[in-house]
Chain A
């Protein structure tokens, strides 16, 4: 589950990680109230207005702006809320902004220069351990840093039996070139950040930038936080943090009926049992001259109710010109799946796109007969390639 910046920062702060303070606002009026409240707390009348959407690169799209007085807060917040923010990580249409974070300005002048760092906590899949990845090159796209100056990226792997050790926190602070109070602040920051990662069952923390202020404090200016969905059962308080407006509407609906669906840009819908076979089916659609319109895993029990639910989900996408159903019947018999497809089809009334059904496995031959004799406009196949050929033929018509 992905969180908004302000939600991620709340979690960090609850574990003692210093953050750039801020208050979330749904409209320009709330933004003004938030700014006044913040000024009373921080003393600064400069604020940063940050669009809250689930995508990075918000600054590049005009979603992060500095306001130097209350009038500017109102004006900027009013402009950002409601805009369709296009960033390098959104689609071409962008994402609608529903709320902004009014945050304190932390780049104030002082006794020393400010500096920005990059820090993330994530799983190293190669070793099966968590690691802290960090760099002196903060505020930049880390992929760019990795490409051009890989020697400026450091990693610290954590032994799960002992956790982050004090010397590791010191090594990070040294590698970032810190000394004095900033050094101490950084070791505390890293230690609390790792604790927060573990305690919140996160699967990704990305803090970019981590800022050393002019008075040598270390704080998180941004926060990208992802929580492990499989661990949400032990964090019931996080369930409310899910913002369904940020997720694809069809995907949300699919999830509610227990289907694993990912919306894609193509023209051939597909319905498959098993994630690996589903991806392979998408690949085959492409080789047959089409483009997959979705990923959809119907799971082990492809009965009439599930097939019907899947049909409804796939047909919500107007770009779908054909549907390929590919089921490998193992423990579920193909004839039962075939009957499910026929029943679902009849319940739906008319389906205006051609359907190709490929059933393989237990009772595949009986299943093919059932489909062929159903009188429905459904093409049947038993071999994988045969299904691909029929997709190609249908698309050519």
Chain B
């Protein structure tokens, strides 16, 4: 078992023939991911990376049986790409694009509400189930197969955490990069819930950062769930000043309840094993699984 993506996922790439799309699609294919084609409007009928190019997502669903998409479309057109995928019946929509206007994401988030799909991101590194599917931009070799799930807002910090876990002789079931924007499809709570309910996952690493209430929501859910599966948590940005955006559009301290300190306090009260040092994530995971 794993969550969201596996070896049977039929994956398409939106923005397939662009430079980002091409580079990362080749990396995904090299990893062994089941990429069944891609979408670039106006280039339908062509072949790219030995896979068919479609004009529309609907065509990719009908002709290639696509059920998962990864979006590399530029910010101005990305919200439209998300809505097109949802309309076509794609089940898992992973959006890598950074810099989508907030107003566009409000519309897209509203549009997909009633649809049978799950949005991951935007502004995220994607999702990887080691040994089965890499649907993202992460370096695949860092993620060895195992039984630790990872949920994170950040890209390189996810790689860092995975690397530490692997160096403890452990591995990863699925790592989910949920994204660092103010509006994201799948929340920390929803991603944690997926991993807690996954029988193969024995422990969860939850990495958050300053800004918003997502980590607190996840922590309260975890406490209420009564789950005995351990969660190791880290919140980046203890040293970030209030009112400043730290790289990620959503990483900004607005009040006293979205600081790193406040989040860590709530997480501890909900039974999460919080580490203060980002260098101790792996060690703590090994400790709680021992």
Q: B95 an interface residue at 8 Å Cβ cutoff?
A: no
Q: Shortest CB–CB separation between residue A332 and chain B, in angstroms?
A: 9
Inter-subunit contact A160/B110 (CB<8 Å): yes
Q: Could you say which residues of chain A place their CB within 8 Å of the CB of B182?
A: 123, 125
Inter-subunit contact A276/B153 (CB<8 Å): yes
Inter-subunit contact B239/A361 (CB<8 Å): no
Given contacts A260-B247, A362-B139, A284 and B277 within 8 Å (CB-CB): yes
**Most-contacted residue by chain B among A198, A280, A361 (CB, 10 A):** A280
Q: Could you say which residues of chain A place their CB within 8 Å of the CB of B158?
A: 276
Q: B175 an interface residue at 8 Å Cβ cutoff?
A: no
Number of A positions contacting B (CB below 8 A): 53
Q: Could you say which residues of chain B place their CB within 8 Å of the CB of A275?
A: 154, 180, 209, 246-248, 251
A-B contact count (CB 8 A): 161
CA of A228 to CA of B141, assembled, Å: 37
Interface digits, B223-239 against A, CB 8 Å rule (1 contact, 0 not)?
00000000000101111
Given contacts A125-B213, A201-B103, A283-B237, A230 and B249 within 8 Å (CB-CB): yes
B200-232: which residues lie under 8 A (CB-CB) from chain A? 207, 209-213
Q: Shortest CB–CB separation between residue A346 and chain B, in angstroms?
A: 26
Question: DSSP class of A's interface residues: helix, strand, loop or mixed?
Answer: mixed
Inter-subunit contact A276/B209 (CB<8 Å): yes
CA of A295 to CA of B238, assembled, Å: 12
Q: A203 an interface residue at 8 Å Cβ cutoff?
A: yes
CA of A282 to CA of B240, assembled, Å: 8
Q: Shortest CB–CB separation between residue A368 and chain B, in angstroms?
A: 15
Given contacts A330-B142, A361-B142, A274 and B157 within 8 Å (CB-CB): yes
| B103 touches which of A198, A276, A282 (Cβ 8 Å) | A198
Q: B250 an interface residue at 8 Å Cβ cutoff?
A: yes
| B279 touches which of A260, A328, A330, A384 (Cβ 8 Å) | A384
| B156 touches which of A230, A276, A383, A385 (Cβ 8 Å) | A276
Given contacts A264-B241, A277-B156, A360 and B251 within 8 Å (CB-CB): no
Stretch from A65-73, A208-216, A286-294 forming part of the interface with B:
A286-294
Q: Could you say which residues of chain A place their CB within 8 Å of the CB of B276?
A: 283, 287
Q: A13 an interface residue at 8 Å Cβ cutoff?
A: no
Interface digits, B7-37 against A, CB 8 Å rule (1 contact, 0 not)?
0000000000000000000010000000000
Q: Could you say which residues of chain A place their CB within 8 Å of the CB of B239?
A: 264, 266, 279, 282-283, 285-286, 291-292
Q: Could you say which residues of chain A place their CB within 8 Å of the CB of B155?
A: 274, 276-277
Q: Could you say which residues of chain B place their CB within 8 Å of the CB of A262?
A: 241, 244-246
Q: A297 an interface residue at 8 Å Cβ cutoff?
A: yes
Inter-subunit contact B160/A384 (CB<8 Å): yes
Interface digits, B265-290 against A, CB 8 Å rule (1 contact, 0 not)?
00000000000111110000000000
CA of A383 to CA of B212, assembled, Å: 30
Q: Shortest CB–CB separation between residue A236 and chain B, in angstroms?
A: 13
Q: Could you say which residues of chain A place their CB within 8 Å of the CB of B163?
A: 328, 360-361
Q: B102 an interface residue at 8 Å Cβ cutoff?
A: yes
Q: Could you say which residues of chain A place their CB within 8 Å of the CB of B212?
A: 125-126
Inter-subunit contact B106/A276 (CB<8 Å): no
Q: A186 an interface residue at 8 Å Cβ cutoff?
A: no
Q: A233 an interface residue at 8 Å Cβ cutoff?
A: yes
Inter-subunit contact A230/B102 (CB<8 Å): yes
CA of A151 to CA of B152, assembled, Å: 35
| A279 touches which of B75, B209, B255 (Cβ 8 Å) | B209
Inter-subunit contact B250/A125 (CB<8 Å): yes
Q: A53 an interface residue at 8 Å Cβ cutoff?
A: no
Q: Shortest CB–CB separation between residue A205 and chain B, in angstroms?
A: 13
Inter-subunit contact B75/A128 (CB<8 Å): no
CA of A264 to CA of B159, assembled, Å: 26
CA of A206 to CA of B176, assembled, Å: 36
Inter-subunit contact B246/A279 (CB<8 Å): yes
Inter-subunit contact B102/A276 (CB<8 Å): no
CA of A66 to CA of B42, assembled, Å: 62
Q: Shortest CB–CB separation between residue B249 and chain A, in angstroms?
A: 7
Q: A128-B106, A143-B255, A362-B139 are in contact. List 15 more A-B contacts (CB 8 A).
A: A125-B211, A125-B250, A161-B110, A198-B103, A201-B103, A203-B102, A230-B101, A230-B249, A231-B104, A273-B156, A276-B152, A279-B209, A283-B236, A283-B276, A385-B280
8 shortest interchain CB distances as A-B pairs: A276-B154, A275-B247, A274-B156, A330-B139, A276-B157, A231-B101, A280-B278, A384-B279
Point out residues on A near B: beta carbons under 8 Å: 123, 125-126, 128-130, 143, 159-161, 198, 201, 203, 228, 230-231, 233-234, 260, 262, 264, 266, 272-287, 291-292, 295, 297, 328-331, 360-362, 383-385, 388
- Some 9 contacts from A to B, beta carbons below 8 A apart, are A201-B103, A230-B102, A274-B154, A275-B247, A277-B160, A280-B160, A284-B278, A328-B159, A362-B141
